[in-house]
Structure 1
């Protein structure tokens, strides 16, 4: 782990500590301590297991996409990929470091660079589509309630939804309207050329053409691998549903009983939408504010709300950073080769004789 990344981790931890210290400034320490002593550890354990299960499921998705012609990625090496992703998503703006970190992790496990890029691109496409489905269902089920109670946050949610729609629309255009997409991008770059140098414009054009060509090639591969995509999509949907349920078990651990699982999941999806808009790594600040605002209606006690926010943030953010740091220090297993067919073994033995 580079000095720059260590510094980024330290800065994010210090910011997080500062936020919670600021939130506790007006609270009675004795009340906070009594609330903490009343914590129901069995629900904390459930929340922890649910969070760990999301990484295990993502590991299975990685294995599904890497598996090819009998070759497979060992579970230990595959688990390292989402954990490293968690770390670099947490310390980079807009989680931009997650993809490159996963690429390096796969290459360290013996996956060829081009194939690793292909795996991550397919994983990204499936993930984005499943996220969109969850967002649409969430808006249908709970947006009217949010808009009525939290008008300011409702606009942020709509904006976040539009960004995801734009991403998905771009992916679909490349997959099904390849030539039109290239023309559209060239028109946009031509307009941007009015504000940048010819050299920079040429560099941007080359980069965009490469990304579009690569994505289109992988989209063709996706269409041929329908069974694998369906399996990965089902697992990714399960992963997201588990992740969105974490605050429910956090609230139960603090004795908040009058909550509905679906309502809590809807609110958590809304928080994820809002956090995705913040350029600060991990959406720090925006995540805490959103949790406090949306779940404040369910938790009347200020100490309980603060500690619930702290536990939720630890499980969904800081725990991933910690596990990612340990994953970086683990030497990954290499790709396991396909077992030889018995007839091929006999043929080789015959050649030796």
Structure 2
């Protein structure tokens, strides 16, 4: 577990890049605006709808926690909802502050390890969660683009390339994982061809790469068997994931309602947000900071009046991202302090019991 601890500190260092991106992003967005006007406009929003947006983010975290608990229970573990919420919070926070969301799953696996869940089983659960996340994300993006084509057509040329790249990248990753799961022998044959080519090119580490990839493929066979044997659980996981992604994609709609508008439906906002999400997902930026804000200003100008667009972006990203990064960070710090205190008390108690035993043995010897 030393590698996980090193990863933890490495991820925290990446938080510096995260903060720098935030500063630059909001500097360029608001540099030409009157901040008093921004504050005044935001202060006039309906807090009720902002709270609904925050509730949607709670649903987002709870849905993931529910999936974790369901799949861990199927593997024979008795986990509480509190434990699984911790896994979900850890994933959201560390995915948000690391490039390409690379830190979330390793930290979730580390937390599961601390709760005596085997690495092989935590990897399996996280793998299932990732597959359904990719599937539903792509599904929402395609449906969103198809249903809102008349709105988006010809008006988002600057984002169209990113949208296509996002779809291609995410679909390629999904297909690669499915092939590894259900067609492992064919993947190994393809890998052998690649290894022969690398050897032909005098690449020294070709055999080492082959061994590592073969090991990963063998590990994923267990995951494939689990998916096939638990179709009912997979269906529930898929439905839960659909609710989860709908919840987070609906946040811009509740921001829209908070300004007093009700012309467009929630499905239009979810569709447009799904297109935006997939468009920036392939960019290696922590939390897609900068890209998401810029993309919001491009896409949602089709739905928000220009007079409140910047404020809407600030509130939407504030509720769906920055607020919950902050809250999850506080949760993690409090939990870390609580765990540290519990460990210290456990050590003191163990030392006290050891000392009492020593005194007791000494008295017994003296009596003899």
TM range (shorter): 0.7 to 0.9
Does 2:230 align with 1:225? yes
Superimposed CA distance per residue, residues 43-79 of structure 1 (whole angstroms, 9 cap, x where no aligned partner): 1001000111110111110000110476421111110
What is the rounded CA distance, in whole Å, between the counterparts of 1:301 and 1:152 in structure 2? 18
- Distance in 1 (alpha carbons) for counterparts of 2:120 and 2:11: 26
Which residue in the other structure is 2:291 paired with?
286
The alignment partner of 2:79 has SS state of: coil
Aligned residues: 331
Pairing of 1:1-353 with structure 2 (within 5 A): 3-68=9-74, 71-143=77-149, 145-193=151-199, 197-199=203-205, 201-302=206-307, 304-329=308-333, 330=335
Between stretches 322-331 and 225-234, larger displacement belongs to: 322-331
Q: Secondary structure at the match of 1:138?
A: helix
Deviation at 1:214, TM superposition (A): 1.6
Distance 1:192 1:274, change over 3 A: farther
How far does the alpha carbon of each residue in 1:264-323 deviate from its partner, in whole angstroms, 9 at most, with x for none?
A: 111111111111121111111111110010011222334x21121112212222233223
Distance 1:140 1:13, change over 3 A: same
Cα contact 1:91–1:282 (8 A) shared by 2: yes
Find the counterpart in structure 2 of residue 344 from structure 1. Answer: none
Moved more, 262-271 or 168-177: 168-177
Counterparts of 1:38 and 1:125, CA distance in 2: 41
Give, in angstroms, the shift of residue 231 of structure 1: 1.1
- Identify if the C-alpha distance between structure 1 residues 311 and 185 changes in structure 2 by more than 3 Å, giving closer, same or farther: farther
Q: C-alpha offsets along residues 189-248 of structure 1, whole Å, 9 cap, x if unaligned? A: 44455667312x223222221222222221111100111111111111111111111111
> Does the CA contact (< 8 Å) of 1:83 and 1:320 recur in 2?
no
Deviations 1:157-207 (A, max 9, x none): 1111111221222223223322112112332344455667312x2232222
- Alignment partner of 1:27: what SS? coil
Against the structure 1 CA distance between its residues 140 and 300, is the aligned structure 2 distance closer, same or farther, given a 3 Å change threshold?
A: closer
With CA pairs under 8 Å and 6+ residues apart, which has the higher RCO, 1 or 2? 1
Q: Deviating runs (4+, > 3 A) in structure 1?
A: 1-7, 68-71, 188-196
Taking the aligned partners of 1:276 and 1:82, their CA distance within structure 2 comes to: 19
RMSD value, Cα:
2.3
In our comparison, the structure showing a higher alpha carbon Rg is 2
Mapped partners of 2:286, 2:202: distance in 1: 28
Native 8 Å contact 1:156 1:274 kept in 2: yes
Asked if the contact 1:275–1:282 (Cα under 8 Å) also holds between the matched residues in 2, the reply is: no
Residue segments in structure 1 that go unaligned for 5+ positions in a row = 334-353
Q: TM-score, normalised by structure 1?
A: 0.86
TM-score, normalised to structure 2, is 0.83
Residue 339 of structure 1: aligned partner: none
Rounded Cα–Cα distance in structure 1 between residues aligned with 2:164 and 2:67: 30
Alignment correspondent of 1:349? none
CA separation of 1:109 and 1:264: change in aligned 2, threshold 3 A: same
